[in-house]
Amino acid sequence: MGKRKEESVSNRGSQKKQRKEYTDILGDEPNEEETLQFSANSSASSQSPDGEVGIIESIQLKNFMCHSNLGPFQFGSNLNFVIGTNGSGKSSVLTALIVGLGGKATATNRGSSLKMFIQKGETSADISITLRNQGRDAFKPESYGASITVNQHINQDGSRTYKLKSKCGAIISSKKEELIGILDHFNIQVDNPVSVLTQEMSKQFLQTKNEGDKYKFFMKATQLEQMKEDYSFIGKTKKNTRVQIEQGEERLEELKQVYLEKKEIFKSIAFVNDMQSRLKDLKHQMAWAVVSEMEKEIELLKEGVKAEEGNTEFLQKVEEWQVKVNEAEKKYKAIQDKLITVSEEAQALHPQCISLKAEVQAKRKAVNETEIVYNRSKTELKRLGKDNEQLCKRIEELKSCANQASEPEKLERQRRIAYLREQLKAFHDEEIMIDQQVDQFQQAISKCREEQSRLGREKNDVQQALDAKQKQLRDLKDSKTNTLKRFGPHIPAFLEAIEVAHKQGRFKKKPLGPLGALIHPKDPELILAIESCLKGLLQAFCCDNHSDEKTLQFLMSKYFARGHRPQIIVNKFQNKIYDTSQRAVRHPEFPSVLTALEIDDPVVANCLIDMRGIETILLIKNSRKAREVMQCNQPPKNCKEAFTAEGDQVFERRYYSSSFVRPRFLSQDVEAEISHLEREIENKRAQLTASQQRLYSIKNEIRQNEDHLCGHQRHQKQLQIKVRTANAEIADLENMEEHQSADVHILQDEVEENKSRMESVKQDMQLQSRKMEELENNLQAAEKQLEEVKEKIHQVEEIAGPIKAELNQAESEVENSKRRLQHYEDKQREHVACVNKHKDLLVAKRNELEEKMAKARQIFSERITVTRTVKSLDAEMNRLREKINSESSHRGNREEIIQQFRYARERYEDASNKVKNLKRFIAVLDEVMTERLKVYRQFLRSLSMQCKLHFEHLLRVRGCSGNIIFDHKNETLSITVQPREEEKASRSDLRSLSGGERSFSTVCFILSLWNISESPFRCMDEFDVYMDMVNRRIAIDMILERADFQRHRQFILFTPLTMSSLPMSPHIRILRMPDPPRDQRTLNFQNRNNRDEDQ
């Protein structure tokens, strides 16, 4: 997503503090009391709450010098002592302060390039410094707040980058110009030794022999050096300006001579004025002659337009063919209505035909079932007849067996075995038939169960669809009072939770959604197409960053079950919609999804562009037209797909039908949607009822088939028993050695029982036969009725054929009439366009006439009656111009002479004005510089006197005496110090003092400079390193006194010694540096080949 633009750095000039300038006029040698009183007043007056800006609140180092992580150190607003052993990082903190606030590496005296400050083995270093930004002098408080954090990153190549952060951690700028503006505003000068005094700078100052260097030190510390350089630059500018004035005066004389020469020539050409006057009169006539000729042309054009307007031939033809078109359309409508009536008759017969087909099938099935039962009874009757015959034969055999010999008995057993074998064969055939019937019933049951399973699934699908429709209906009814409920019943409460979380600051930027609530289709007919295109994106939410996404996910878990949560899209929020001019599809007839929507927020538009590419999708209402645009020809440029009004998706080589029937989220007519849903719910209920009835019918059919199957299985078991009995009897007969008497009476009882069973079966067969005959009659009647309906449908279709041909003929007549009408309408439009074109030309001519008349009035205000033509006037004017040119060739062109005269006069006057302005500027500059230099000298004397008196006063505190001698003329400064008053010999050089005395004298001098300079903080490294305990105590007391007197200033002092003797005070803070590791007691600076200056 796009990057945040950095805030531009404002003009630093408007943010700088104005340096205080002392305008009090002092004598050349003011007395000591007056000067001390002046110093005290000026210092006291500077103690104000305005000192809340520019002081250092904290500093932190990472991979800097020999420290991997140092800090953060929190400094107090007044006096701070940073103590620690050598190598603990005191000097590193001071060095980091100089470098972190933009100072050069050379200013630290610890390296020539920034890359030398990176810890060995690391690739970069980081410095973080926090400056206070409070009070009325705060720098951009509306952006930075109460503090400004300067983060500096030093790279391995010696370059560095800045990040300027506000109180809350937001990055405000990364430009060095912004940091320079902040330092100028706070009057922070890290390269000023008074603000930051390092060990090396102090050592150089004490050991220098050159009094001129000490004077430069004083001038730089008080910023007088910068003022002196500014005044020197102004003096050089004034000198250069005087040289320009001298050169300008010489040039002015030359221009004056040229001007006088041109003036004489100008006076000698007055005799050509007569011809010029005549030419001027001819120009007047020419202007009005042009007007007259154009008026005549306009009159002719008006007559032509009037004649064209009177021609109504094409209009009459249009009216005539319009009547024919209306008649043809009326005829077409009548035939179409007739065809619709016939078609409706055919359509009305189709449900009856389907119903009759189902009835015929049901009756045919009943006939088949009855026939099966009848055949089963018939088979049973045959079997019983055979059993009866066999029983009768057996009885006869048993009756005659008593008188027969053993041989006949054997023959009888053989006949009985043969009979039993024939009976076994019959049993086997019947068993095969029963097995086939069992298989048929099992297949029928299996098919019915499959149908039952399918109907059960259909019923469940219909029930689920019904539940979904009912829920959607409830949501729609609820959305009449709250439209957000269309997107889910929990959406309003969820949006309220988002609003509460946003007010609590849990979101960086408030999420947007659902996206469907923030878009509005322009055309209601395209709503279904848009919903088919966007689908789940309509319920999605958009976040600016991943942190907000996590918060939103947590909120969603309270309102939505897992797996049913809306989609969350992370997209950087922007205030303007993407520029899609190069990749968007454009079509003269059909809109894209992007142009078909009114979108409330650019973030929503950008989100839909990124996620769905809505600028590349066309919306085409007609599916046939959509196929033509996308598939018959090359798709439009940048077009990836299209959607129809029915929601179908069209690609270049594919076409997908939509599963959506009605819009769900974006519909604008809620009542119509509710009515449609109620109708769909009724249809679903009817489908559910039909499915339940069909299921009940299938269950009954399964139950009947299962009953038949059980009967056949029982019969099958009986046959198996009979087979086993017959087999046993055959075995017994084959193994029989003696004739066994048979019980004739038992067999006779079996015969009687068998006869009664045969009578019962015959009666059942008669019933089944009558029932079958009745069902067959019903079936024939139903089939006849079905054939009659089919015949009617066929007759209707035969009637519709000629009507369709007649309709095609009428449609052809309508098209022909419309083409003729279109032809004459085009002719009429051309005629009207021609008339309008002539009218436009007439208007243009009239406008041109007005312009010509306006020009003519500018040339000559009163109209002139001109009898001559434009051509004759132009010829005479050309002759006059030739004469004027001929005269001008002898004396020069008159216009050129006038132009040269005016040019010479303008150059002379311009040069004269410039010289006068420069002289005035020099006079004003001399006056201002005289006054400014006077004030500068007074300021110089005042500061030097204050420094001198403070120095002497601080030496007297120890009981010493000394003096600072300023020689402003030779720009030298000498310091003399006498350790004790009893010692008579004065030491003229600081190097002759002991180390402690020299350090003490340095402290006194620095304190004197502190008193007369302006800076929000002062830093001094190892100020007491060479002092004995007495001098150290006195120096510390003086520093404590100065810090207590200037509580609006910040003091940071670095020392390797302990500060246990300091008094307890809320204004004093002691920061102890951690002891260095045992293997790191010195700083390891290695020489590097690349000594590049810091960037």
Other residues' Cβ atoms within 10 Å of the Cβ of residue 804 = 13
Q: Is residue 695's pLDDT more than 90?
A: no
β-bridge mates for residue 124, sequence order: 155
Q: Give the sign of the dihedral formed by CA 265, CA 271, CA 275, CA 279.
A: positive
Report the pLDDT averaged over residues 590-618. Answer: 91
DSSP per-residue letters across 562-578:
TT-PPPEEE----SS--
- The strand order across the sheet containing 53-64 reads 67-74, 53-64, 124-133, 147-155, 160-165, 171-173
d(CA 77, CA 1050): 5
At 436 the pLDDT is 81
**pLDDT tens digits, one per residue of 679-689:** 888 888 888 88
Spatial distance between the Cα atoms of 356 and 61, rounded to a whole number of angstroms: 97
Per-residue model confidence as pLDDT tens digits over 900-956: 878 888 888 888 888 888 888 888 888 888 888 888 888 888 888 888 888 888 777
CA 1017, CA 59: separation in Å to the nearest integer?
Answer: 14
Which tens digits make up the pLDDT trace of 2-40? 333 333 333 333 333 333 333 332 333 333 333 333 343
* Residues 6 or more apart in contact with residue 353 via CB below 8 angstroms: 786, 789, 790, 793
Between residues 351 and 1072, the one the model is more confident about: 1072
- What mean pLDDT comes out for the span 711-738? 76
Find the mean pLDDT for residues 145-157. Answer: 91
Q: Which of these ranges, 509-518, 532-541, 1024-1033, has the smallest mean pLDDT?
A: 1024-1033
Q: 515 burial class (0-12, 13-18, 19+ CB within 10 angstroms)?
A: buried
DSSP string, 392-411: HHHHHHHHHSSSS-HHHHHH
Residues 6+ apart with CB under 8 A from 371: 772
Residue 1076's pLDDT band, with cuts at 50, 70 and 90, is confident
Residues 1032, 43 contacting (CB under 8 angstroms)? no
What pLDDT, on the 0 to 100 scale, is given for residue 36? 36
Read off the pLDDT of each residue in 59-75 and give the average, rounded to a whole number: 88
Q: What is the pTM of this model?
A: 0.39
On the question of pLDDT at 639 being above 80, the answer is yes
Query: Which DSSP helix (H) or strand (E) runs through 1072?
Result: strand 1068-1072
Q: Can you tell me whether residue 504 is helix, strand or coil?
A: coil
Q: What is the pLDDT of residues 322-343, one digit of tens each?
A: 888 888 888 888 887 887 777 7
Per-residue model confidence (pLDDT) at position 594:
92
The larger pLDDT score, comparing residue 702 to residue 818, is at: 702
- Looking at the predicted structure, is the pLDDT value of residue 1037 above 90? no
Q: What pLDDT was estimated at residue 758?
A: 83
Mean of the pLDDT values across residues 110-117? 83
Say if CB 599 and CB 518 are below 8 A apart: yes
> For residue range 967-1010, what is the model confidence (pLDDT) as tens digits?
888 888 877 777 665 454 454 455 566 656 666 777 787 788 88
Q: What is the pLDDT, as a whole number, of residue 131?
A: 92
* Alpha carbon distances (Å) from 545 to 511, 666, 688: 10, 28, 49
> DSSP per residue over 340-401, as a string?
HHHHHHHHHHHHHHHHHHHHHHHHHHHHHHHHHHHHHHHHHHHHHHHHHHHHHHHHHHHHHS
Residue 151: its pLDDT value, please? 93
pLDDT in tens, 815-826: 778 777 877 787
With CA atoms as reference, report the closest residue to 650 among 632, 668, 664.
632
Rounded to an integer, what distance in angstroms lies between the CA atom of residue 631 and that of residue 47? 84
pLDDT(210) > 80: no
pLDDT reading at 528 higher than 70: yes
pLDDT per position as a tens digit, 767-792? 888 888 888 888 888 888 888 887 87
Listed residue (658, 650, 612, 646) closest to 629, CA to CA: 650
What's the full length of the chain, in residues? 1095
d(CA 784, CA 794): 15
- Provide mean pLDDT across the span 591-599: 92
The pLDDT assigned to 302 comes to 82
Q: What is the pLDDT of residues 452-482, one digit of tens each?
A: 888 888 888 888 888 877 877 777 676 666 6
Q: What is the mean pLDDT of the chain?
A: 78
Average pLDDT over residues 701-708: 86
What whole-number percentage of the chain has pLDDT above 70?
85
Give the residue, 517 or 473, on which the prediction is more confident.
Answer: 517
Q: Are 97 and 196 in contact (CB under 8 A)?
A: yes
**β-bridge pairing 1017-1021 and 1050-1055:** parallel
- Cα–Cα distance for residue pair 95/79, rounded to 1 Å: 19
Q: Does residue 178 carry a pLDDT above 60?
A: yes
Reported as a pLDDT band with limits 50, 70 and 90, residue 1 is very low
> Which of 481-495, 649-663, 739-753 has the lowest average pLDDT?
739-753
More confident position, 662 or 838:
838
Query: 752 phi and psi, to 5 degrees?
Result: -60, -45
DSSP state of 70: E
